[in-house]
Structure 1
């Protein structure tokens, strides 16, 4: 956090559009290009967005490094005891308050791409501001969409608008799961939301899907299962104002894995879709994921798996000068070979 844009400009290049985004009512963290190079080419900066912040930074000509009081993949600490325990060894100073925190909300993160503001994490400042949906949604029934397993957000649909929750995180973490269920109830109470159906991801192993199934049974509500990649296409259509009557689009979805109609994991999908239906017209050839979840956390494993499917020895010999090949050759490839051999 920098006191003003002049302080930030000591460390990063700031365009006019980025300055406008920093000063906007949403006050997000904005990713900016560093003036001096490093392993990470960007730094996230934000301006003071409360009077307390302004007072704190009033005499500082250098920025302060802020943490949202959470360890990686965990929700923020909201009690004094928890903060003192979990931030020990991480933060040099703690700014505490005697007012209880009811709703955990992380800082939003945005950047300027192709001249437009793009939200990378939608939270404080943006949530729960409703998003107006395109033409054709005004008569849609009230829905509760439970969200996915990773980087979860959920949504309330009503009156032609989508009310998205703040970014909540990965539901495999017990603390995040508790915060997810708490925030779900908080939003339903806050907006007096009475859904006529519950929407879940098609993956039967997702915790959000299992909770949605449970609520649908208990409340006697219809359950709508949505294929993961089709949901991404529909979200892009809505973001670009594509009306319900606009017809089909070709959606190319490269985000990762999703549970397919055939019971296998899909990825690299080409879908001919509208909001209600889709046809799988093409997809990348499936390859192994060495280490399972570890391949998601270390994407180089997937890169190597694709090259292995093409013939790793030949690829490594023909492109030995490439930095990527040299990087991969330093990894424990023998272990990955064993994983693939054992299936």
Structure 2
């Protein structure tokens, strides 16, 4: 039996969703192969949460825990932390330093994909289309006329490094821009302002499945709200249709771009890329490397449509992470 540390929590607004994802992984692990250990990672504590919610501190020297005088070491870390420090490369770098296998991509890929504007800049030479964008760092002067001239209205104001749609606003008038910028700065000190793309939103999961880079059935997102925001994602204010109601040609086209991105970036583990389809052209918004793994989340939905159970999905991630 292999010991699997399932890390969850994190330092960002996404910690609650991460705890749900981590508990789903724990629940659906193949109990005949793995012992799952729930590890909460917070700024103030790293602890193994045992039965009856008893907490045992993690030894950061080798990422082990001691329970009743017995030291427990782990074979693989299953990373279920959305946002920092699990999705931005910090945990990946730490695990690489101590020689601990883990299920997500490497630290550079995590840091790059977590930074929306850097990711889109790196992908541009590969012909991957993106929205017109304008960048701000906290402290920069805000010239609303210049912003509107570049990206037009309506536009989206987003924290550059945050997930689950925290801090995002859809701006319809120039007067709303400063308020939206303030909201985004609550999540990050870097902002990306993007032109509004009027089209069909799709989410494309790409995973390495049994050694083969595989595009999962694509999900179309129809939000009741102005865009696919936190409520739409987690509170049922959206319709998620898998497979998406798009032509076989477009399915092939957007799937090929998501797969190319995964391969170009030398990704590992899970990835979920968001696109808006405008006039038969996919425009990439972002890529998530620790996508939600709750039973309602998109990757589990897509895996299910591909005939892959949650147990198989998680087993596959662990087996690929194990040293050969």
- More strand as a share of residues: 2
Question: What TM-score do the two structures reach when normalised by structure 2?
Answer: 0.28
Task: Give the number of the structure with larger relative contact order, counting CA–CA contacts within 8 Å between residues 6 or more apart.
Answer: 2
Kindly name which structure, 1 or 2, has the bigger radius of gyration based on alpha carbons. Answer: 1
Question: What TM-score do the two structures reach when normalised by structure 1?
Answer: 0.27
